[in-house]
Structure 1
Amino acid sequence: MARLAETDGTGEIAERIRERRGGTLRPLDRMLLHSPQLADGWNSLLGAVRQRIALPADIRELVVLRIAVLNRAAYEWTAHEPEARRAGLDDTQLAAVRTENAAEHPELDARHRRVIAYTDAMTRDVHVPEGLFDALRAYFSDRELVELTATVAAYNMVSRFLVALDVQPSEP
């Protein structure tokens, strides 16, 4: 059970969030709506990360799931596993993401392994070694590198919020 009660999800900001979400609010949204202005900014930021950037969907979802593993954010895994599958990640790749040394897992291609190594460095150490960053240049444009970095940062924020407030996914 979450540490705070969910809000009722009314008002103009809640409606904007519902619109982005396809008509429903999730437990995360109902928690954020304790602070409507924060929820509004969050919705704008995550809306951009989810829907308005050039970063490929498989990369975005790989990042989200890896952060879910590293930060022990079960809600995030539950929410994004279906998205990851729609983006083309399969059972063996998803299992690899859950391993300690995912950045070396043979079931993942070189691009995915480098993205995981980058996500791990940003999440665990904050500092990213120069060689690791340079290795990403073979796979991503400058714009995509900025978007990859913002995606890792944003989903670390999301997972830490969820875990700290013990927000759980809705029952199916």
Structure 2
Amino acid sequence: MPARIDPATPPFAEHISRPLDRLMKGQPPLRLFTTLARDPRLFQKFFAGGLLDKGNLSVRQREIVIHRTTALCRSEYEWGIHVTVFSKLAGLTPEQVQATVTGSASEACWSVEERVLLRLCDSLHEHSDIDDGLWSELRKYFAEEAIIELLMLAGFYRTVSYLTNGLRLPLEETGARFPA
């Protein structure tokens, strides 16, 4: 199925090419990025909203939330990119990667803290809210600033899922695929 909107094509203006080069490190830019590059304002807003820098979460915590959120949103495009690029860096096993799509928060492959993260993603996806019990559990493991970051991260990747799904972006050749 073709994408609903064609991406911008190179050469890109410097304010587009500079962030692409920095992020892609010599690799061709992702179709999501080149599609957003059609509008420099939207491109810059998207890149300004990213949370892949060193923040209040470990790479592992961040990627568990991104993997689960994009899986719940059925964004195989974004899930696949993050699995390919970050799952080894995050120390996620193949069983854990699969569980972000097909498993529950109670899977034995997760630590107690990681189960809380998965339950957070599930609750936000289903209710757009966190009940008081889950909030109390989050507070046991995460500082208030980290909880704010978790909420922003899940929300940002829900937005990314809307983009990749709504635009019908074809899967990147290098991206992982959902387990059967």
The normalised TM-score by structure 2 is 0.87
- Checking the alignment, whether the CA contact within 8 Å between 2:81 and 2:172 is kept in structure 1 is no
| 1:95 partnered with 2:105 | no
Once the two structures are superposed, residues 11-49 of structure 1 have per-residue CA deviations (whole angstroms, 9 ceiling, x without a partner) of 133123212332442101011112210110111111xx0
Match of 1:31 in 2: 35
**Higher-helix-fraction structure:** 1
Per the alignment, residue 111 of structure 2 pairs with 109
**1:3 paired residue number:** 4
Instruction: Indicate the structure whose relative CO is greater, using CA pairs within 8 Å and at least 6 residues apart.
Output: 2
Q: Structure 1 residue 52: deviation in Å?
A: 3.5
CA RMSD of aligned residues (A): 1.5
Distance 2:37 2:78 in 1: 18
Match of 2:24 in 1: 21
Asked whether the 8 Å contact 1:17–1:29 carries over to 2, the reply is no
Unaligned runs of 5+ in 2: 175-180
Counterpart for residue 177 of structure 2: none
Shift of 1:134: 1.3
1:61 corresponding residue in structure 2: 63
Q: How does 1:142-157 map to 2 (within 5 A)?
A: 142-157=144-159
Are positions 1:42 and 2:43 aligned together? Answer: no
Q: In 2, Cα distance between the equivalents of 1:43 and 1:52?
A: 15
- Residue identity over aligned pairs, in percent, reads 25
Amino acid at match of 2:121: T
Whether the aligned pair in 2 keeps the contact of 1:13 and 1:39 (CA below 8 Å) is no
Distance in 2 between the 1:103 and 1:6 partners?
A: 37
**2:69–2:157 CA contact under 8 A, matched in 1:** yes
> How far has the Cα of 1:171 moved from its partner?
2.3
Q: Look up the equivalent residue of 1:50 and give its one-letter code.
A: L
Structure 1 unaligned blocks of 5 or more:
none
Contact 1:96 1:108 in 2 (8 A): no
The answer for the alignment partner of 1:77 in structure 2 is: 79
CA distance in 2, matches of 1:96, 1:170: 22
Q: Distance in 2 between matches of 1:164 and 1:115?
A: 26
How many residue pairs get aligned? The number is: 169
